[in-house]
Every structure is written in C-alpha cells, then in structure tokens.
Structure 1
Amino acid sequence: MTAIDFFILAATLTVGAILVWPRLAGAELWRATSTPLASIIGSGFLVLGPILDASFGRYAPFAMAGLCLTAYAFGWAVRYNIAEIERRNGKRPPVEERTEDLASWILAFAYFISVSYYLNLFGAFAVDLTPFNSDVAARSVTTAVFLLVLAVGWFKGFKALEGMERVSVGIKLAIIAGLLAGLAWFGAGHLASGDVVLAPATVTGWQAVTLGFGLIVTVQGFETSRYLGNTYDARTRIRSMRVAQWLSSAIYLIYIVLLTYAFPPVSGQLEETEIIDMMRIVAVSLPVLLVVAALSAQFSAAIADTGGSGGLIHELSGRRLAPRNAYLVLVTVGLGLTWLADIFQIIAYASRAFAAYYAVQAALAAITVARREGVGVRTVVFAGLAALGAAMAIFGTPVE
C-alpha cells in the first residue's frame, strides 16, 4: 500500500470517528442537518464530476457554483415558506393551501423518478468491479433492490426504511472525505510539476444552459428539511437546511476543482461509473472505497425518497392511501424507467420534476410575500425564481 493510500484511509477513518463522536452525533442541529446533507450528497456526487469535466472543461467549477447558487436560491424560497407556516400555526389562505398541495404532489411524483435514478446508479456501481459488468446485469441488480425496498416498505413500514438509511450516512461522508484527501494529494503533485489540465468546454451557449437545467437533481435534497416538522421546530429546520447547503456546496466545489484541473475530460461515450476508472490512477484503494460510497449513498438517498413519497401521498390523500400503496406505484414506475431509459435520461427527467417543485415553492413564496408586503423586491425575486424553475422543467436536457 502506498503513502497516498494510507493518507486516504487515515482521512476516511478520522472523519468516520468524528461523525460517531457522541457530542456531534447527539447534537440536535447536526441530526437535523444530516438528513438534507445526506440527500444532497447522495443526489449525484460521484456521477457529477465526470459529467461537468467532460462538458465544461476548465469552466466546470463555475458550472458547479452555478448549480449550488441556484439550489441555494430555491432553498431560500422553501425556507421562507417554512417560516410562514410556523408564523401562522399552519393556517394559510385557500390559494396558498392549494399551491402547497400542488407542490407536494409534484414532489411525490419527483421522488418516483429520483428513486429510479439512485437505484440505477446503485446497480451500475454494484457490478462495475465484477466480471458481470454489463447494462443487463446492472439493471437486474437495480430490479432486485427495487423489490427489496418494496418488500421492506410493504411489510415493515417506513421505520424499517429509516433504520437502513441511518446506517449508510456516516459511511458515505467518511469515504467522501477520503476521496477529497486523495484528490488533494494527487492534485498537489500535478500543481508542483506544472501539469495542470485546462481543457476547453465541449458544450457552450444555450446547450450548456439546458444541460445545467438537466443536472439540478444532483444538488437537490435540501427540501427534505421542509418535511421534518414532526421532529424539529421551524427554526432548527431552517438552520439545518442552510448548513446542509453550505457544507454540500463546499464539498462539491472542492471536489470539482480538484478533479477538473488534474484530469483530462473523458473522450468518447461517458459512463455513469466513469469516476471509478478516473480514480484508478490516483490510488489502489479508491475504486473499492468509491463503490462502497456509491452503494451507500444511492441506497440511503433512495430510502429517504421512498419514505418521503409514501408519507406525502398518505397525507395528501387524507390518509386514504397507505404509504405502502405509494411504494408499489413508485417501484412500478421505477422498474419501467430502469428498463426503458438510460441513466442520463433519468437524471434529466428527475431534474425537470424537481425543478417544477421548486417553481411552485417559489411561486408560493411570491404569493405569500405579495399578500403580506405588496409587490416589492422579494416578490419579484421569488416570481423570477418561479419562472426559472418552470424554464428548467421545460428545457432541461440529458448528457449526450
């Protein structure tokens, strides 16, 4: 084992130890933050790097910053709505109630697609280092995991799903720390030798904009704080969403900077597991660790969104539809997408669905501000965010 492997493992174990430290693990703000943070990081950390590097070249960090800033702006609208619900003790005018219900139905549908995205990535990474690496094998693994999630959700309920999710969050964050440590070591060597990669962008203009629209799902997940009202008060949920978005943005930007300027863009057909091949030249330990991180990340994100969808539909139907009925529909949709679409198409579909949700949340914030304060700067900004979300939902495109 080389020095860089020891460095990677040391970083992984150190962060893992910090995450299980009782004072941190037991802190209310951290517990509230870990749910949206896990969802954001699980939404596309490993797949996003090669995509941005191949599409935007030296400008990839700016594309990443744009995605993070856009997500934070939508998060501002969601946080405003959380505060308003708290201020009014859950009582809102009928038009706002109907808008909130529309947003929730869109989110429940978006979860159907996002779970398919997560579990298709799970299948791809699960077979990547095996002799059975093929599209059929990956989709077969995805199918099996879908059926497992359905069985657990149907017979055990959401509490069992939550238990599975909690196990994987710490593993994922610790391995990401190891990945960043390895990339920093590798990148420092390139910088010292003057071997910095400054590749041109291959996607520009309107095509670059619509590709960015189609990648918003990779930074979604912050909205989960909105639906933790049974566990945390509004102030804690608002703070936890901010902290989760700050931390995830820092992690994403460090990752993209280190990757972009140390690796030439992938030539030819881009694969969803491209990061594994890229990391082989960094350290022997990274491919295996990344597979573990990918399986952990995608599984925990899928569990969170499966449970979220079931809970939303149960609530929106006036408790007439049990969560497990939603799980059944979700798995049916997911299996259809698994066998009829490729992963990059699913990413774009999920991005467009979440963009529609953010558009409605921003529209709700605009309506609420206009009622309280009249048409002012905040009303215009929230309305602009609603228009941006609608444009993303309409024009988002997949990676070619």
Structure 2
Amino acid sequence: MLNALILLVVVATGALLMWPKLANATLWRAAITPLASIIGSGFLVLGPILNASFGAYAPLVMAILCGAAYLFGAAIRFNIWRLNNKGENRSPSERGLELASAWSLAFAYIISVAYYLNLLGAFAVSLTEVEGHIPAKLVTTATFAIILIVGWTRGFGALERLEEVSVGIKLAIIAGLLFGLAVFFGKTASAGDLVFSAATVSGWQAVALVGGLLVTVQGFETSRYLGAEYSAPTRIKSMKLAQGVSTAIYLVYILLLSFAFAPDALDLSETAIIGLMEVVAPILPILLIVAALSAQFSAAVADTGGAGGLVSELTGGRLAPRAGYVLLAVVGVALTWTASVFEIISYASRAFALYYAIQTLIAAKGAALKGQPVKAVGFVALAGVAVAIVLFGASVE
C-alpha cells in the first residue's frame, strides 16, 4: 500500500509540474534552473552525512548551511541589481574581480562535473551485485569519455534537453521520498522509537566539515547568468523562490531522516541513502537510482557546456569550447582515480566558495560606492567566511 501511495505522490507531483499554468509561469520557469541545481546531487548524499556526523543536531546544521547559501545569494542578487542599473559605472577593479570570478566559476564547474559523474558511477554500480570502488570509477571514466566525444563531435544541443525532463523527474521523486519518510517517521514516533543521537564531530572539525559541504546547497548563482532570458527583477525573485523552496525541502528531509534513523544504522558511503530508503519502502531505492542517474548526467552535461563556453569566452575565442571539454575530462578522470567522492565534494565546495568570495567582494565594493557602509561591511565579512571555506573546508572522514 505504501509503495502505491508513494507512486501516486510521484505521479501527482509530476502532473502538477507539467500543469501549463505552472510550467509556463515566467517566475517558475526562471526558478527551475537554480532549483534543479540546488536540489541535485547533494540531496542524495547530504542526509546520511549529516545524520552520521551531527545526529540530532543535523537539522540545525542544515539550517546553517541553507542560511549561509541565502546570504551568498544576497550578494549575487545585489550584483544582478547593480548590473541592471544602466547608470552604474563599474570601476576597473570591479571588472578585474568579475573576470577572476568567471575564471573561478569555470574551475568550479570542472570539479563539480567530477562530483556529479562519480556519484553517477556509484549509483549505477549499486544496481548490480558488483562491489568495490573500481567498477564505479570505470563507469565514471567511461561516462567522461562519452560526454567528451559527444561534446567534441556534435555539441550538447540534444543532450541538454534531458535537463528539462530530469528536473521534473527529480522533483517528483523527491516528493515521493518525503511522503514515504513522513509515513515512516510517523510510525516510528507512534512506537516511541525516535532517535536522538549525539554528534560524532565537534569544534573546529565540525565547522570545517560544514564548510566542505557548501556545494550541496550551491546552484542559486545560475540565476546570475540567465539575463538573456529573464529580466533582473525576475531573476532576483526566482533565486529567492528557488532558495526558499529548496531550504524547506532540505529541512523537512533532514528532520525526518535524522530522528527516524540512528547514525549507526548505516555504513556511510555515497550510496548510503539507498539502504536507508529500502527500510522505508521497497520502491524508494529504485526511484532514487532513477533520479540519481538522470540528474547526475544532465547536470554534468550542463556544467560541461558551461565550462567550455566560459573558457572560450574568457580567452576571447582563442580556445574553442572543445578545449574546455578536454581540460574538464582530463581533470575529472584524474580526480576520479585519486580522490574519494567525499573528497571531491569538499574540493567542489572550496571551488565554489572561491567564486562566492569574489562575488561578495564585488558586492561590497558596489555597496560602498552606493553609500551603504553597513551592507558593504556585511559583504566583506561574508567574503571572509567564503575564504575560510576555501582554506579549511574538509571532507567526511
């Protein structure tokens, strides 16, 4: 019965997302891109990581992560607003920071694709009886090769359409997951079996770990680069909407998970969520693997295209996008065979933190020029937090 109800929720959510009045609404269409990026790969690994590391404090840590992301988003929204103001004159230093920001984003894209495809490899192998990390790494390497060949020979036009489909699939499956978890949580609570576990990390180790998880709530910055499709006010509103919806989903998810499962109930790995959800309902692992494979591949294609395009733009066309694809594949395969998924997550977090540090410095300078000293100081402080993440963000041990 629970399997049937979960499927019903998935289908109903999918139908709602396809409802023309919603699907064609400008604000929602503008919010879908950042929302899909925020609730991406991180959703699959974050729950088990926070539960194993912070126990009953996991929801609080999740709120801190989402709050930090919202503040970084505020800096980017301020920059969107300033760029839209035709009367603004940007200084040479601001333009220099913007160039550095673009390079840092291209670098972050390169690492994030390695993160996506390593998760794809792990979830793909979980469908089989094969064990160990080597088969997953082989799948990841083969996927890098496929993406490179397609990008080099034909471009990503056809593959990019997968992004639109995968967003709806992913959000519908997440709705089914939350429904199943809520039912399981209710049964556990009624039996008096809720878990209140102590944190296993504390102090500086906990702070560094939270910094290393920033990439799991990253993605809102994509609104900054949708200027060709949407106005600045729409992009600002859509980023707030995407961050609000994703925060609500993440908090409910972590709350239900952390009090329904003891940290020692799982063997912490990149696919730990599958084992947990098998306890909730037999259908959930299958749905999660479908969501993982489609989401990871489409996100990797999107970021590969973004990285190649940025490299070409930043070199004034001297390097074609294909050169960016090659660089991305080489770095990605190297990371695949030299680092764990959790280490790659921390590297990606630090790469995006560098991008956020530069964006917040741009916002600070802009606020100072606008005669808003309090806001400028706040942005500088936020840049300091981002720099700390770049230097000290740590991976799960």
TM-score (norm. length: structure 2): 0.97
Query: Structure 1's 43 and 89: CA in aligned 2 closer, same or farther, altered over 3 A?
Result: farther
Equivalent AA in structure 2 for residue 284 of structure 1 = P
Query: What are the superposed Cα offsets for residues 63-98 of structure 1, whole Å, 9 maximum, x if unpaired?
Result: 000000000000000010011111137852211111
Contact kept, 8 Å, 2:346 with 2:394, in 1: the verdict is: yes
| SS of equivalent to 1:200 | coil
Q: Report whether the alignment pairs 1:379 with 2:376.
A: yes
Contact kept, 8 Å, 1:85 with 1:91, in 2: the verdict is: no
Q: What corresponds to 1:342 in structure 2? A: 340
Q: What corresponds to 1:185 in structure 2? A: 183
CA distance, structure 1, for counterparts of residue 160 and residue 238 of structure 2 = 19
Q: What corresponds to 2:385 in structure 1? A: 388
Contact kept, 8 Å, 1:311 with 1:323, in 2: the verdict is: yes
- Deviation, 1:294, is 1.0
Contact kept, 8 Å, 1:125 with 1:294, in 2: the verdict is: yes
CA distance, structure 2, for counterparts of residue 108 and residue 161 of structure 1 = 20
Q: What corresponds to 1:105 in structure 2? A: 103
CA distance, structure 1, for counterparts of residue 86 and residue 308 of structure 2 = 26
Query: What are the superposed Cα offsets for residues 175-222 of structure 1, whole Å, 9 maximum, x if unpaired?
Result: 011000000000010111111100100001111000000000000010
Equivalent AA in structure 2 for residue 292 of structure 1 = V
Matches within 5 A, 1:112-151: 112-151=110-149
- Deviation, 1:327, is 1.1
Contact kept, 8 Å, 2:6 with 2:180, in 1: the verdict is: yes
Equivalent AA in structure 2 for residue 272 of structure 1 = E
Query: What are the superposed Cα offsets for residues 343-391 of structure 1, whole Å, 9 maximum, x if unpaired?
Result: 01100100111111101100110011112216x1101100000000000
Query: Structure 1's 244 and 173: CA in aligned 2 closer, same or farther, altered over 3 A?
Result: same
CA distance, structure 2, for counterparts of residue 189 and residue 248 of structure 1 = 26
Equivalent AA in structure 1 for residue 379 of structure 2 = F
CA distance, structure 1, for counterparts of residue 198 and residue 239 of structure 2 = 35
Q: What corresponds to 1:397 in structure 2? A: 394
Equivalent AA in structure 1 for residue 93 of structure 2 = V
| SS of equivalent to 1:92 | coil
Query: What are the superposed Cα offsets for residues 268-327 of structure 1, whole Å, 9 maximum, x if unpaired?
Result: 852110000111111110111111111122122212211221222222112222222111
> What percentage of aligned pairs have identical amino acids?
58
CA distance, structure 1, for counterparts of residue 313 and residue 72 of structure 2 = 24
Matches within 5 A, 1:1-400: 3-88=1-86, 92-266=90-264, 270-373=268-371, 376-400=373-397
Unaligned runs of 5+ in 1: none
CA distance, structure 1, for counterparts of residue 296 and residue 145 of structure 2 = 15
Equivalent AA in structure 2 for residue 173 of structure 1 = L
Query: Structure 1's 89 and 108: CA in aligned 2 closer, same or farther, altered over 3 A?
Result: farther
The count of corresponding residues between Structure 1 and Structure 2 is: 397
Query: Structure 1's 58 and 344: CA in aligned 2 closer, same or farther, altered over 3 A?
Result: same
| SS of equivalent to 2:264 | coil
Contact kept, 8 Å, 2:266 with 2:275, in 1: the verdict is: no
Unaligned runs of 5+ in 2: none
Contact kept, 8 Å, 1:152 with 1:160, in 2: the verdict is: no
Query: Structure 1's 284 and 111: CA in aligned 2 closer, same or farther, altered over 3 A?
Result: same
CA distance, structure 1, for counterparts of residue 7 and residue 272 of structure 2 = 22
CA distance, structure 1, for counterparts of residue 316 and residue 303 of structure 2 = 20
Query: What are the superposed Cα offsets for residues 138-190 of structure 1, whole Å, 9 maximum, x if unpaired?
Result: 11111111112112222222423421222211111110110000000000101
